[in-house]
């Protein structure tokens, strides 16, 4: 991959597998024309005729256009990771803080260690959580597109689980080249 393009896209060996390839010729020919203003642009859906009114909401930020932001969040030294109702409340608060739309939430409580795995399915994508209370560790995924503000979930998670440390990774999904 061209180093200038990789830098613009925020891609390096730590964030992308080495076999990641972009077909530049195809990307140039198929890159949709952006319509709209501000931080969110509307792109015609793939394979949609001009009579179809469905539009996907892509984000336009810092000169880039992409489907959404995917946060990978690790909470270390966290508390209340085996309390199912608390976790559900925290995920719902993340959705509200991010300005997203909750469609469904499903959590599973494991035994004997009390870990929880679950997902909040959003109109804008999802938030998932997997906890290891015996280690004070939680792994979360926050992926949102459109006007949603996924970074707002971070403060909610800090308040809900009081972690000693938070590790954050960020990836722009669906980059339009």
The catalytic position among 125, 135, 162, 171 is 125
pLDDT at 111: 85
Count other C-beta atoms under 10 Å from residue 48's C-beta: 13
Residue 1 to residues 17, 25, 120, Cα–Cα distance (Å): 12, 13, 35
Q: What is the pTM of this model?
A: 0.70
Q: Considering 66, 85, 101, which residue would you say is the last residue of a domain?
A: 66
pLDDT at 118: 98
pLDDT at 177: 78
145 in catalytic set: yes
Q: Considering 14, 32, 66, which residue would you say is the last residue of a domain?
A: 66
Strand-pairing partners, residue 173, are 68
Task: Give the ranges where the chain is alpha helix by DSSP (H).
Answer: 3-9, 24-30, 84-98, 152-161
Residue 142 reports pLDDT greater than 70: yes
The catalytic position among 86, 130, 151, 171 is 130
Q: Considering 18, 35, 66, which residue would you say is the last residue of a domain?
A: 66
pLDDT at 7: 53
50 in catalytic set: no
On whether both 102 and 157 belong to a single domain, the answer is: yes
d(CA 73, CA 68): 16
On whether both 50 and 86 belong to a single domain, the answer is: no
On whether both 61 and 83 belong to a single domain, the answer is: no
pLDDT at 108: 97
pLDDT average, residue stretch 138-148: 95
pLDDT average, residue stretch 78-102: 97
On whether both 31 and 83 belong to a single domain, the answer is: no
On whether both 59 and 105 belong to a single domain, the answer is: no
pLDDT average, residue stretch 61-86: 94
The catalytic position among 145, 151, 162, 171 is 145
On whether both 35 and 76 belong to a single domain, the answer is: no
d(CA 130, CA 45): 32
Write the pLDDT tens digit of every residue in 100-140: 999 999 999 998 778 999 999 999 999 999 999 999 999 99
Cβ neighbors of 75 (< 8 A, separation 6 or more) are 137, 138, 140, 157, 161, 163, 165, 166
Count: domains in the chain: 2
Count other C-beta atoms under 10 Å from residue 109's C-beta: 14
pLDDT at 13: 43
How far is C-alpha 90 from the chain's CA centre? 16
130 in catalytic set: yes
pLDDT at 80: 97
Q: 93 with 77: CB under 8 angstroms?
A: no
Of 161, 171, 157, nearest in space to 9 by CA: 171
For 13, the domain range is 3-66
Write the pLDDT tens digit of every residue in 9-67: 454 544 443 333 334 344 333 333 344 445 555 555 454 333 333 346 788 888 888 89
């Amino acid at each position: 991959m061209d180093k200038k393009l990789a830098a613009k896209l925020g891609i390096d060996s730590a964030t992308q597998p080495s076999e990641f390839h972009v077909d530049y010729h195809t990307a140039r020919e198929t890159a949709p024309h952006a319509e709209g203003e501000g931080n969110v642009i509307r792109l015609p859906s793939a394979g949609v005729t001009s009579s179809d009114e469905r539009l996907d909401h892509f984000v336009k930020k810092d000169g880039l256009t992409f489907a959404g932001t995917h946060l990978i969040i690790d909470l270390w030294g966290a508390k209340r990771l085996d309390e199912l109702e608390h976790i559900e409340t925290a995920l719902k608060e993340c959705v509200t803080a991010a300005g997203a739309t909750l469609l469904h939430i499903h959590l599973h409580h494991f035994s004997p260690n009390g870990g929880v795995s679950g997902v909040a399915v959003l109109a804008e994508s999802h938030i998932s959580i997997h906890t290891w209370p015996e280690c004070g560790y939680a792994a979360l995924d926050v992926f949102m597109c459109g006007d949603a503000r996924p970074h707002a979930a971070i403060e909610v998670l800090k308040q809900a689980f009081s972690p000693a440390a938070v590790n954050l990774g960020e990836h722009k999904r669906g980059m339009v080249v």
